[in-house]
Amino acid sequence: MSGGEQQMLALSRALTCSPSLLLLDEVSMGLAPVIVEDLLGVIRELAAGGVTTVIVEQLVDDALDIADYALYSTTAGRTVGEPADVKQSLLAVYLGSQSETEHMA
């Protein structure tokens, strides 16, 4: 099985148990962009149906688009809050509009 197939199988196995909590680590890894888009739609539907979902993901925009709440952490500290606020914080830190320690205060 390819990495993407393994990812899809692992998620399918988790969903067969009708979980109330779903922990997803790099769910997009190894998947084609069109599959990732479909998968994010499924995650949205699960959340709308009451499944609490925690996602660790490098596709930050995609994760923040479906999140109700977000957190990121660096060596200087962490930022938590509404996805739009966290996204602004990430942009500020990584695009240099202000220092990380100033922003996380």
Three-class SS state of 30: coil
Q: What is the pLDDT of residue 97?
A: 60
Domain of 21, CATH number, reads 3.40.50.300
Are 52 and 87 in a shared domain? no
Residue 100 forms part of a structural domain: yes
Question: Minimal CA–CA distance to 55: which of 77, 15, 11, 24?
Answer: 24
The predicted model scores a pTM of 0.73
Per-residue pLDDT band for 98 (boundaries 50, 70, 90) equals low
Structure tokens at 28: 């997009």
Q: For residue 6, what are the domain limits?
A: 1-59
Per residue in 31-61, pLDDT (tens digit) is 888 888 888 888 888 888 899 999 999 888 8
Between the two ends of the chain, the Cα-to-Cα distance in Å is 46
Per residue in 4-32, pLDDT (tens digit) is 788 888 888 988 988 999 999 988 888 88
Question: Minimal CA–CA distance to 33: which of 44, 41, 23?
Answer: 41
